[in-house]
Amino acid sequence: MTPPLQPLFAQRLARLRTHMAEAGLDAMLVFAPEHLRYLFNYSGEAACGLLSARSSWLVTDYRFIEQAEEECMHHEWRRGVATELLCRDRQRERLGEALGRLLADLGATRVGFEAGHVSVAQWTAISADLPGLALLPASDLLVQARRVKDAWEQQQLRQAAALADAALEALRPEIRLGRSERELATRMEQLLQSLGSEGLSFPTILGFGPRSALPHSAPSDRPLQRGDLLVLDFGAVVNGYRSDMTRSHVAGPAQPWQQRLHDTVSQAQQAALALLKPGVSGRTLNDAASAVLAASEFAAHAGPGLGHGVGLVLHEQPFLDTVCEARLRAGEVVTIEPGIYIRGQGGLRIEDDALLLDGGHEILTRAHRDFELPL
């Protein structure tokens, strides 16, 4: 983290503290790795965060303490934003004991915790060491706070999308008949990493022919054959922020049904994009795309759901589906990814990442959309 980022982190902590005050919480226990990164710039594992109105702590152990010192930069931060580090000896002190000690020092009595990010077993053990405190599920606080991305986050998401575009551009000449799903997916992952992706946004999904109808299948040894549909779903990571893009092609000239399949999905995506701006609800977007699919000959094979938020987590709020009444806001980034999946025959999905801006949106993923590959 460079010094210019420190004010961003200070803003995040301040915003969280406002939400905590509104929820009547003296302190908050943070378990999700993505939230430790969001609040403290910590990208390691095996840590727990504690936030109160005036202080913040990161509790970890000897394996990650140097990384925490490097990343959290607590010494250089001014008081009130500074994150203190606690290096726990796991053989001598349970996590609940360490947290209990800190909470007692803070005089906290109403303590929120991320119920969506701690297991029943782990929480049973921790809470047994926190008698006398009101422990309140508060999973949503950080999930909601992360929905709107600040300018720096938007830039990371833009870069992740651009990196994925470049990887696909580099892969295109290598897509040849006879190469297997696994070979090409592995090659895509190598290109992503060579171009600078921090690991993968998720394991690459690549299906040929009938296997293109598996929305989330792992690549197999099936070779690409002329006339196959090809669905490729992949992403890059930049400073923890993820991209998520799907492109669908046909290997050679499209058969009429394949072309209709492509046109239907493309129109469904356009129907949603035409409405995509701050103020629209997830349900409205979903319904617009669904209406196109439902009116087509492929209605029985339409995949449910339209898309999801994307950021430090691949699938995050908001989820664009039939029950999403939430209004989208400027600064949110969502995928728009209608799909049709005909079992045993083939499927097709087109997915882009869009950043909501005042009055409209910006498409972050810009890779080619041509359907037929010249094979």
Which C-beta is closer to its own copies: that of 158 or that of 301? 301
- CB 47 within 8 Å of CB 56: no
Beta bridge partners of 27: 52, 111
- CB within 8 Å of 144: residues ≥ 6 apart: 19, 317
d(CA 297, CA 260): 9
The residues binding its own copies (CB under 8 A) are 43-45, 62-64, 66-67, 89-91, 113, 115-124, 137, 139, 186, 189-190, 193-194, 199, 203, 213-218, 303-304, 321-323, 341, 343
Which C-beta is closer to its own copies: that of 8 or that of 195? 195
Which C-beta is closer to its own copies: that of 190 or that of 255? 190
Please identify which residue in the block is written with the tokens 């651009």: 162
The torsion region of residue 199 among left (phi > 0), alpha (psi -120 to 50) and beta comes to left
Smallest distance, its own copies to C-beta of residue 341, A: 7
Which C-beta is closer to its own copies: that of 241 or that of 371? 241
Smallest distance, its own copies to C-beta of residue 62, A: 7
Please identify which residue in the block is written with the tokens 């008949």: 177
Tokens of 90: 């796991």
Smallest distance, its own copies to C-beta of residue 98, A: 16
Smallest distance, its own copies to C-beta of residue 360, A: 29
Nearest C-alpha neighbor of 167 from the set 221, 232, 220: 232
Which C-beta is closer to its own copies: that of 34 or that of 373? 34
d(CA 4, CA 244): 28
Smallest distance, its own copies to C-beta of residue 194, A: 7
